[in-house]
Structure 1
Amino acid sequence: MNCKNCASPVIDNYCSACGHPRLLKRVDGHYIIHEIQHILHFEKGILYTVKGLLTHPGKNIREFITENRNRLVKPIIFIIITSLIYSTINHFFHVEEGYVNYGGKKDSATTQIFAWVQSHYGYANIIMGVFIALWARLFFRKYNYNFFEILILLCFVMGMGMLLFSVFTIAEVLSHTKLMQVSSYIVIAYCTWAIAQFFNGKKVVSYVNSFFAYLLGMLTFALAALLIGFLVDAVFRH
């Protein structure tokens, strides 16, 4: 028979050209459990990725980009999953409503844009990462990393930021103590540290550049959202 993936002749259980199995296992309860275990498995999974990003983010992300892309969860998947975790937790506990509230008109484009950001953190974080990556590319232009490699770095780092927010959200609910403002400083500190570690954690200037790249990236993202909302409102009003 021929491989159903690349049409090459298949003699053994797997295609010698692309590695696709000759026969796929039937989707059943065992298959679903195996897929869940694969995602959560400590080696090459979410837990392994989180551990690596907490202890040695710079080293692990550099290895992902330059040496081995199988040890960590794919960066886009990682930031979407972690953002979904935070969004789900916030949906049940509504902690964020006491901190984040854009005071514009409900029918304005700007208000709708920020409402979309709050409802789609996964995609919004990727867009925000583009802005931060542009600033990081400027501040760390002496290093041999292109824009897309820096964007991969930010997907991992901002994904960890979402997990930290999730932990503090649960802690606030359980302790009945206002912790989300504290968590914002901790997330900024973590992102600053992780980005600096990626480039050169031994230089103080790396932490300064990292902090301003992250801060200016968030600021320009917010300003861009405001500008787009203003332009949309201006066009439709006329």
Structure 2
Amino acid sequence: MEHHNCLNCDTELIGKFCSNCGQKSDTHRITFKHFIMHDVLHGIWHFEKGMLFTAKQALLRPGKAALDYIAGKRIQYYNVFYFILLLIGLSVFIQNYHEHLIEIYNGKIENINNSTGKKIDVFMASYAKLLIFSFVPLFAFNTFILFRKKKLNLSEHFIIAGIIYLGIMIITVVGHSFFFFDFTKHFEILSDIANIATPLIILFYVIYGYYTAFKENYGKIGFSVRMLFFLLLLGFELFIIAISIIGYVTDWKFGSIKYQM
């Protein structure tokens, strides 16, 4: 080997990776061939491979995958929370584009004339990604309270919530894609089916995901009761968030909300 010290931190090299910073010991001068074949193609391949693996694990075995990740099996996974943010952005884009097409083809279905309605619309548009992502800490906090026998800390519950919510976002994006059948001549029914099926699939997926994560610590009845409280607590939290948003944009004058068709 030409270099005996790490080119990044100058630590003496033993093995294929630097023991101090983790950089590969075979790092060499960048050439055009190396840039194209390694930095570009190799990087894209591993980027996609990691995302595909993570998506597959999140959809097929979310609870078990989360526990594997917590146990230290992490090298094959793409960053779950980055992945969620990417899918949130894609979901918001699909929804906005679908609404834009509806306005083009059918005209505006609902016209909100009062200033309060416009403020709510602006707030939701400005903070859509943050609001959608807020489900992750809500999921984590609720399971941390309800599933204590697993003896996981709050951060580990964030990992379980993140992987399960990743699956939710994948299902959501696929479901929203079916909405574009609204603009076809013979397949409009697929959009209606997706509109009904998507939330039901998500509900069963969440229950399945958490069951596979906690089934070793709770019987079916114990899990079912806790899952019911999880959903009720989540509904209450979302209600509080909704009231807070409306209160914020109306200066807590709820009587000012009037929608005109």
What letter is aligned with 2:97? F
Alignment root-mean-square deviation, CA: 3.4
Equivalent residue number for residue 116 of structure 1: 126
Secondary structure (helix, strand or coil) at the match of 1:94 reads helix
* Residues 1:40 and 2:48 are matched in the alignment: yes
The answer on whether the counterparts of 1:192 and 1:210 sit within 8 Å (CA) in structure 2 is yes
Counterparts in 2 of 1:12 and 1:134: CA distance versus 1, 3 Å: closer
The farther-off stretch of 5-14 and 204-213 is 5-14
The answer on whether the counterparts of 1:129 and 1:154 sit within 8 Å (CA) in structure 2 is yes
Alignment of 1:67-216 (within 5 A): 67-94=72-99, 105-108=116-119, 110-118=120-128, 120=129, 123-174=130-181, 175-177=187-189, 178=192, 179-200=194-215, 203-204=219-220, 205-216=222-233
Q: 2:154 & 2:102 partners in 1: Cα distance?
A: 34
CA deviation after TM superposition for structure 1 residue 141, in Å: 2.0
The answer on whether the counterparts of 2:143 and 2:230 sit within 8 Å (CA) in structure 1 is yes
Matched residue count: 226
* TM-score between both structures, scaled by the size of structure 1: 0.76
Q: 1:210 & 1:69 partners in 2: Cα distance?
A: 27
Q: 1:158 & 1:142 partners in 2: Cα distance?
A: 22
The answer on whether the counterparts of 2:98 and 2:179 sit within 8 Å (CA) in structure 1 is no
What letter is aligned with 2:57? G
What letter is aligned with 2:43? E
CA deviation after TM superposition for structure 1 residue 39, in Å: 1.6
CA deviation after TM superposition for structure 1 residue 149, in Å: 1.0
Q: 1:96 & 1:215 partners in 2: Cα distance?
A: 36
Q: Percent identity?
A: 20
* TM-score between both structures, scaled by the size of structure 2: 0.70
The answer on whether the counterparts of 1:59 and 1:197 sit within 8 Å (CA) in structure 2 is yes
Structure scoring higher RCO (CA < 8 A, sep ≥ 6) equals 2
CA deviation after TM superposition for structure 1 residue 218, in Å: 4.9
What letter is aligned with 2:75? N
In structure 1, runs of 5+ residues without a counterpart are none
The answer on whether the counterparts of 1:58 and 1:197 sit within 8 Å (CA) in structure 2 is yes
Q: 1:96 & 1:150 partners in 2: Cα distance?
A: 40
CA deviation after TM superposition for structure 1 residue 126, in Å: 3.2
Q: 1:153 & 1:53 partners in 2: Cα distance?
A: 10
* Residues 1:19 and 2:22 are matched in the alignment: yes
* Residues 1:223 and 2:240 are matched in the alignment: yes
Equivalent residue number for residue 234 of structure 1: 251
Counterparts in 2 of 1:4 and 1:133: CA distance versus 1, 3 Å: same
Q: 2:242 & 2:31 partners in 1: Cα distance?
A: 46
In structure 2, runs of 5+ residues without a counterpart are 104-109, 182-186, 253-261
CA deviation after TM superposition for structure 1 residue 200, in Å: 1.4
